[in-house]
Amino acid sequence: MAKKNRRWIFLLPMLILGLIGLFSYGGKLTRLIELPDGITISVPRNFPRPVSKEEQGLKILSFNVQPHQDAKRFIHFFEIVSSPLKIDFLKRIPPIDFKIGKANIEKIFINGQNVDFNTVELEIILPCGSKEKTKLYALEYFCGPKNKHVYILTFTMTKKGFLEIVKTLKCH
């Protein structure tokens, strides 16, 4: 009986602190991100702070985290790219040494349209020579009202987590 009481003594404050944290954010575990082109998406509240930039006509919102500025490794890679033209999303992979493996395209339904959901096997070769296998997930979405192509990419998330985010994509 004493073991059960000790467990509750530990768990109850943790539960209370968790609920306080949840309600301090209005009960939401996500935050809405607005892109300049009238495109919105909800990302987890614990995502890194986004960095916005423009490159060669592309508007990029980057949620990337690296151990240090010049690191070839990513702790977190998630990008949203908006472009008036179609792009080769594989060129958005950061300048790291990698090999492309099998690729697969599925159609998924988002906001009333079928969009391409790409899965590409990657083998990332780290500076020390070791290899890390992962999958690049990329969504290609055309935002008709804004006449923009939107690409969402990650290679550090699970498929399920990525799909939960991309299904919140809205074009206004």
CA 88/CA 60 separation, integer angstroms: 14
Residues of the chain with pLDDT > 70: what percent? 75
In whole angstroms, how far apart are CA 61 and each of 48, 53, 135, 150? 11, 7, 20, 11
Question: Which of 133 and 12 is assigned the larger pLDDT?
Answer: 133
What's residue 107's pLDDT? Answer: 94
E strand or H helix at 74? none
What's residue 104's pLDDT? Answer: 94
Residue range 4-62, pLDDT digits in tens? 556 556 665 655 655 555 444 444 578 888 876 778 888 888 877 888 888 888 888 87
pLDDT at 88 over 90: no
29-171: CATH topology is Protein Transport Mog1p; Chain A (3.40.1000)
Mean pLDDT, all residues of the chain: 78
Q: What is the mean pLDDT of residues 92-96?
A: 74
* 8 Å CB contact between 95 and 64: no
In whole angstroms, how far apart are CA 169 and each of 58, 139, 172? 18, 11, 10
Strand blocks (E) in 84-143 = 97-110, 113-125, 131-143
